[in-house]
């Protein structure tokens, strides 16, 4: 999501604001809250912080829109193929994803 190369001066300033202002979250923290945000599971304060980050960060807005679109397309594909949509993600799949992310 967020560019790993040397940031532009404006991006650096935004990063400083996001990490040093009280009640703000970083882009990585934003990623951690996406699913809870979409499921409506954030507290009112968390929701407000999440939305402030969205206002300030174009990359995270793009990430959230792509995430929503991926979910939408996945649901459409499952409907077309008559595959059941799982209510819960199997534990072995979660473990494989986390292992891959930590590698």
Tell me the mean pLDDT in the region 14-39.
Answer: 80
Domains of the chain: total: 1
pLDDT at position 9 over 80: no
3 in a domain, yes or no? no
63 in a domain, yes or no? yes
CA 69 to CA 38: how far, in whole Å?
Answer: 12
Q: If pLDDT is split at 50, 70 and 90, which confidence band does 93 have?
A: confident
89 in a domain, yes or no? yes
Q: What is the pLDDT of residues 32-87, one digit of tens each?
A: 899 999 999 999 999 999 998 898 888 899 999 999 999 888 888 877 887 666 67
Range of the domain at 20: 9-102
pLDDT at 96: 85
pLDDT at 98: 82
């Amino acid at each position: 999501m967020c560019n790993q190369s040397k940031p532009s001066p404006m991006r650096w300033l935004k990063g400083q604001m996001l990490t040093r202002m009280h009640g703000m979250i970083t882009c990585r923290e934003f990623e951690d809250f996406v699913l809870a945000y979409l499921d409506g599971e954030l507290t009112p304060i968390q929701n407000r912080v999440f939305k402030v980050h969205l206002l300030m960060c174009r990359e995270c807005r793009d990430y959230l829109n792509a995430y929503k679109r991926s979910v939408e397309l996945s649901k459409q594909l499952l409907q077309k193929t008559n595959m059941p949509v799982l209510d819960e993600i199997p534990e072995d799949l979660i473990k494989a994803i986390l292992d891959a992310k930590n590698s």
